Structure 1
Amino acid sequence: MPLFLSSRNTTETERMEDPDCDRAELENTYEQFKTINALISQWRTLYRKELRPHLRANDQNRILDIGFGGGDIPIKLAGWAARDGINLHLTAVDTDKRAFRYVQHMDVPDHLEFLNCSSSELLESGRQFDFVLSNHLLHHLSQQELRSTLSDARRLSRKGVLFNDIRRSDLGYLLFNMLARPVFRSSFITQDGLTSIRRSYTPSELEQAVPPGWQVRKLFPFRLLLSYRHE
């Protein structure tokens, strides 16, 4: 249990959420997401252990990413699946028009689509996916938004849901503050990352916040995985 960060801060907002934030710093933040995610988010391991065993080479596998941010994670997933000979179609959604504009300039595989919409809009359209994923989304959501998003994800998925996020920790906060500053310059990564840690859950807090049937696991380093499996 954290001591310095003993309680979750739900009132602070990240600088990049400001619609009037500096455009160059925002673009740099999107660009640097791929580095920070490669270092700490563990999606390669999650793909290998949680997704790959349930994807079949001859099937039309479908995955949804909610809140794609800089677009790096669905692009990575597409590459890993292609190397494994998996027929995978990825849909990535984000409600932020700035994120959608950013990914328009990226080299995107044919079987990956970026959409500027919400999970509820996809649900209303009747779309279905084998898995629904998100990265660093949970700590942004209010309690009402959390329950709504989890309900959407469960109903949109046929096999399961993986929501990967930060675990609030004094040590994680101190290490990130020390190591990120010299690496991530001219962006919101360090300041917003510290805000994100203050907003993030401990395992027990997340367990109390989610409906029955969802599983919370700790991952290295300073990570939480919230998952749901369809029987």
Structure 2
Amino acid sequence: MSLAVRDAQLREMMDDPDCDPVRLRRTLQRFAITNRFVAGWGRTYRNLIAPALAALGRPATILDLGCGGGDVLRRVVHAARRDGFEVTGLGVDPDERAIATTRPMDAVTYRAADSRRLLAEAAAFDIVISNHVLHHLDEHAFDAFVDESASLATTLCIHSDIRRASLAYAAYAVGITPISPGSYLRTDGLRSIRRSFTPRELSAVLPLGWRVETSRPFRVLAVHRARHRA
């Protein structure tokens, strides 16, 4: 199978509102394991988020759009508070099944919502992040999500996703096997890679003001810095 062309027609099983709820819950809960090994948020925090927090020099808010089980936000907020930053986090996901699997902690809360609802509430956050959201979106939803997320961020917006590559596909197929039984982790993970962007493809669909960065061998970041809004 060739990964030379992005397969945007694939649909991930967990995106089906009628998918098996037990498998979905296991998938969302086990994201905490897979994200720690493949998502690269430790490096993204050190290189982008921590410097932005230091530059603010005041208490800050972080929003995680499409937070799923909420593990990425917990990790980022924990790292920030460990480093002495006064940070609070909000994770939102339009799927209430995902919110039901989250584990709130000190300074981190979750709710069922999306970027459009937050904008309607006139909400704003210093830093907006997402993990593995972009490849799920069709063209219209992608454009709206990117624009809305930039409008919500007063300082920095980071969308982290998979960088499509044959080696990433092969490595994931093998590495995920031990923890995938009873979940959608293997099937959907491989479909995610086939749906994901190369850096050049992502650059071509992002609007002006965004830049693409690579992080770790198989990660790609869409980064937007707000101007004169902080």
- Residue 183 of structure 2 is aligned with which of 181, 187, 200? 187
For 1:162 and 1:58, the matched residues in 2 are separated by 20
Count of aligned positions: 226
* CA deviation string 1:25-73 (max 9, x = no partner): 1111111101100001111111111011121496120111000011101
Matched, 1:142 2:141: no
- Residue 18 of structure 2 is aligned with which of 12, 17, 20? 20
Matched, 1:158 2:157: no
- Structure 1: gaps (5+ residues): none
Residue 177 of structure 1 corresponds to 173
For residue 97 of structure 1, report the CA deviation from its aligned partner: 1.1
Matched, 1:43 2:41: yes
For 1:122 and 1:31, the matched residues in 2 are separated by 25
Instruction: Give secondary structure in 1 for the equivalent of 2:178.
Output: coil
2:52/2:156 contact within 8 Å kept: no
For residue 182 of structure 1, report the CA deviation from its aligned partner: 2.8
TM-score (norm 2): 0.94
For 1:23, the aligned partner's letter is P
Matched, 1:109 2:105: yes
Greater Cα shift, 186-195 or 3-12: 3-12
1:166/1:223 contact within 8 Å kept: yes
Residue 78 of structure 1 corresponds to 77
1:40/1:221 contact within 8 Å kept: no
Residue 63 of structure 2 corresponds to 64
For residue 179 of structure 1, report the CA deviation from its aligned partner: 1.9
Matched, 1:204 2:228: no
- Residue 131 of structure 1 is aligned with which of 111, 127, 132? 127
RMSD across aligned positions (CA): 1.5
2:44/2:215 contact within 8 Å kept: no
Large movers: runs of 4+ above 4 Å: none
For 2:218 and 2:192, the matched residues in 1 are separated by 12
TM-score (norm 1): 0.93
Residue 6 of structure 1 corresponds to 4
Greater Cα shift, 82-91 or 161-170: 82-91
- Residue 29 of structure 1 is aligned with which of 27, 30, 45? 27
**Identity of paired residues, percent?**
35
For residue 140 of structure 1, report the CA deviation from its aligned partner: 0.4
For residue 120 of structure 1, report the CA deviation from its aligned partner: 0.9
For 1:20 and 1:144, the matched residues in 2 are separated by 23
Residue 163 of structure 2 corresponds to 167
For 2:78 and 2:128, the matched residues in 1 are separated by 18
For 1:28, the aligned partner's letter is R
For 1:44 and 1:13, the matched residues in 2 are separated by 29
For 1:206 and 1:214, the matched residues in 2 are separated by 10
